[in-house]
Structure 1
Amino acid sequence: MSFGPSSPVWHQLVLVLLALAITELHARPLKPIAARASVPATDPFYQPPAGYEAEEPGTILRTRSIVASFFGLLLDAVEAHQLLYRTTAVNGTAIATVTTGFKPLLGAATDRFVSFQTAYDSSDTVCDPSYNYELGAVQTDIISAVEFLILQVYLAEGYIVAAPDYEGPDAAFAPGRLEGMGVLDGMRAVSAYTGLGFSTTTPAIVGVGYSGGAIASGWAASLQSDYAPELSIKGWAAGGTPANLTGTTVFVDNTVFSGFLPAALDGLAKPSAYGAELGPFIESIITPLGQSKLTFANTYCAVEDILNFAEQSVLSTSFQSLGYDLVYDPTFVSVMQQNIMGLYANETPIAPVLLYHAALDEIIPYANASTLFDSWCSNGASVQFTTYGSGGHATTELLGVPAAVEFVEAAFAGTVASGCSSNTVLDSTVDPLALGLDLEPLLTGLLDALVRFGEQDANLISDLAILETLITVT
């Protein structure tokens, strides 16, 4: 459900990149920020115009240019645009959400773009990546703020990058079908937007996402053949993939990461998701304690959610009256079954996929990812499945960056091998030169962070409060 920006690895990465940014600021100082950015709930840009429901999915409803920044404070030297676009709720009705497009100032490839699904893993719109990208935004979502640094790798490679708020207008975290349609409609909108200077009306696209971002990416890959077959999608890279929400719920419940579960339940019960059936059901079984946790998750972002519900259980009678029997209830089972990737043959990716996962992932079950690999392959997909034998959920995202970037390059070039294959990576280090000399400082910092971090992400939770304070004080 979520991943390592809440960890000491990310603490070290933030310090490395902040040091690099501060060095740059000595040569190019910032002017004081005149005003804070408006949160989505009060920003008119996020409100669709009257009659938008009649538009086709992916239609651009509104555009604006923004000043992109690291942590709401440090300028990112890119061209940035935001698009409000029409997409689709689980029940087929119209909703609208935002995607943010970033273009390198020099040397951008204009016939392609990367769709980067940030793992914001939260059920409050203040956690939307689009808001956190803006100069002057109070950094409410540390995951979006820090994963934005990984997005820079793709910009440095010369790609235009688009990052959608795929959870939609009510921040529906976890419903994969809604998120998948949000990704695909975001691709439609970006492809049609002339402001990014594309040289073609059908730019090639590769989608990437890790953990919560892999929910969105995996489901977009699954739904493309039926929902958006016209898109020129060349591949998908998805790591730490939550392919089965029931499996993830049972796996992570009553652990230090159980704080993601109230946010997921709240997200699944949002009006644009399964509110019609799941909302009344949850209301009938929730306890006062459980309701307080859902209310909290509806108001805060991932880091606060983790801290608020660590080592507690949504499968206990203190949270809801059914206890563990919740996982057998027909209403709950129906919703969760609709969110199992690879369950139906007609929901098989038509573009090649890179799946990667830690064998010792302590948040998302490895067995669910390997089952997804088997299911997709049995239905004719082309999937490369890489197992990282050393490290845990957070370190695997970092270790997987070079391989993901290589896959993106091969997918655009059309050189990804067809069929299915699997391999295991035992090395727990990052090659500082794997992505070229321009990125050596970043990857050297990652290497140092991974060495300090230790295998299996043993200290994953210990630096949350410190990292949260480090970023939010700005």
Structure 2
Amino acid sequence: MSDRPEPPASEVDEFFLGSQIGFDPRPGDILRRRSIEPANLEEAGRAFQLVYATRAGFSAPIPASGTVIAPATADVAGSGPILVYCASFHGLGGDCAPSHLLASGTEPEAVFISAALARGWTVAVPDGLGLGMTRLGPHQFLAGRAAAHAVLDLARAVRALPELDAADVPVVVWGYADGGRAAVWAAEQQPHYAPELDLRGVAAGAVVVDPGALVVGVDGGAWAGLALAGLIGLGRAYAHLPVAHILTHDGEQALDAASDMSLAGLLATYRDLPLGHWCERPDPWNDPIWRYVLANETCARETSLAPVHLYHGTEDTLIPVGMGRQLFAEYRALGVDLSWREYPTAHRGAAQAGAGEAIARLASYLGRRPTSRSAPQTT
């Protein structure tokens, strides 16, 4: 295996060929694993890179990758609770997968992972569908159901990892921005997709509640690369629909070039370029097919049975605080056990300001006994 958690192209081909001839791994089955030594990560003990089976947003089987790190302080590796930590958007391809960055010691959110390890928690970090593995990209950025499946199936894989004693431990999920979006979608999907998981709670900051509103808000400005990334990521997730019909020839070439870029590359290359520059209409988000896609990607579509802590910066100009307040109101109407915190700071500042309370909230959720709302279900 190379330094990246990528199987050879033939392994991806074998996975899909196997699915066609009767080999049908269950979501969460471990397909491949190896021990690693994360660099510059305090509190890390035994660690592994995994390739595991999951499902795309519309239930097609697909492999995904992720990293699992046990705390150095644990007497028995994996005996503590599992935190699935959902990193924020790092890019669409190339070397920006969290698994690669953790192995090289350049993961920008390592401080949050270390804080969880210091609690004695085993931390699992999904790369997300299409990121971290060859021939499966680009990353399905903003595709909520696909992100939820990757989160929940990695938790399943951790509980089955033979090197850890994690078969019956409880699970919590934490993320910020697009990672927060993955976290709340996992909470919404868990009751029917992974009911056997003892999901105790979720913490999510600056959640992208409505991708359509986000795209309109950033289009043509300093964050325009995110709008293009959303078009690419959701186009990949909804490839069964004719989503590419809005593109011009130059747009097709731009999407090909952007599909392997990191976040920094996207922002630098496509700054101030609106989506209309690449499309046959100035407002591609108003195309009927894209209106359907974006409407299908709003949060609060299902009720989370686990408690949810939401937080946001009041000065956030990337993901306006109104999005977070909207999600809080919608979850409250659904009867979700909620808490909410606002911080007088901008997007990046709220990630730092909210981390301590997010961990404390998750710890309090883990201290609760499982109830009929969160206990594992048996068949």
Decide which of 266, 286, 295 is 1:328's aligned counterpart: 286
Decide which of 61, 64, 72 is 1:97's aligned counterpart: 64
Alignment of 1:126-165 (within 5 A): 126-135=95-104, 145-165=107-127
In the alignment, structure 1 residue 65 sits paired with structure 2 residue 35: yes
In the alignment, structure 1 residue 51 sits paired with structure 2 residue 18: yes
Runs of 5+ unmatched residues, structure 2: 131-135, 371-379
Q: Distance in 1 between matches of 2:2 and 2:59?
A: 35
Structure with bigger helix share is: 1
Alignment of 1:359-438 (within 5 A): 359-388=314-343, 390-414=344-368
Q: Distance in 1 between matches of 2:14 and 2:124?
A: 20
> Is the partner of 1:110 in helix, strand or coil?
coil
> Is the partner of 2:84 in helix, strand or coil?
strand
User: 1:293: how far off?
Assistant: 3.1
Letter in 1 for 2:82: F
Letter in 1 for 2:288: P
Letter in 2 for 1:396: A
Q: Distance in 2 between matches of 1:222 and 1:287?
A: 37
**Root-mean-square deviation (Å):** 2.4
Q: Distance in 1 between matches of 2:295 and 2:328?
A: 18
Question: Does structure 1 conserve the Cα–Cα contact (< 8 Å) formed by 2:312 and 2:321?
Answer: yes
Greater gyration radius: 1
Letter in 1 for 2:148: G
Decide which of 292, 298, 301 is 1:340's aligned counterpart: 298
Change (3 A) 1:320 1:207: same
**Number of the residue aligned with 1:240:** 206
Tell me which of the two structures has the higher relative contact order, counting C-alpha pairs closer than 8 angstroms and 6 or more residues apart. Answer: 1
Decide which of 27, 42, 47 is 1:80's aligned counterpart: 47
Q: Distance in 2 between matches of 1:173 and 1:384?
A: 27
Q: Distance in 1 between matches of 2:81 and 2:33?
A: 20
Name the TM-score, length of structure 2 as normaliser.
0.88
> Is the partner of 1:84 in helix, strand or coil?
strand
**Number of the residue aligned with 2:148:** 180
**Number of the residue aligned with 1:217:** 183
Aligned length: 358
Runs of 5+ unmatched residues, structure 1: 1-34, 140-144, 417-474
Question: Does structure 2 conserve the Cα–Cα contact (< 8 Å) formed by 1:180 and 1:220?
Answer: yes
In the alignment, structure 1 residue 308 sits paired with structure 2 residue 277: no
**Number of the residue aligned with 1:274:** 238
User: 1:98: how far off?
Assistant: 1.4
User: 1:223: how far off?
Assistant: 0.7
Alignment of 1:193-204 (within 5 A): 193-198=161-166, 201-204=167-170
Letter in 2 for 1:414: R
Decide which of 306, 323, 345 is 1:351's aligned counterpart: 306
Q: Distance in 2 between matches of 1:253 and 1:307?
A: 14
User: 1:245: how far off?
Assistant: 0.3
User: 1:217: how far off?
Assistant: 0.8
Q: Distance in 1 between matches of 2:117 and 2:14?
A: 29
**Is the deviation greater in 159-168 or in 285-294?**
285-294
User: 1:191: how far off?
Assistant: 1.2
Percent of aligned pairs with the same residue?
27
> Is the partner of 1:134 in helix, strand or coil?
helix
Question: Does structure 2 conserve the Cα–Cα contact (< 8 Å) formed by 1:65 and 1:82?
Answer: yes
**Number of the residue aligned with 2:133:** none
Deviations 1:366-406 (A, max 9, x none): 22221111111111111111122x21100000001111111
> Is the partner of 2:318 in helix, strand or coil?
coil
In the alignment, structure 1 residue 116 sits paired with structure 2 residue 85: yes
User: 1:149: how far off?
Assistant: 2.7
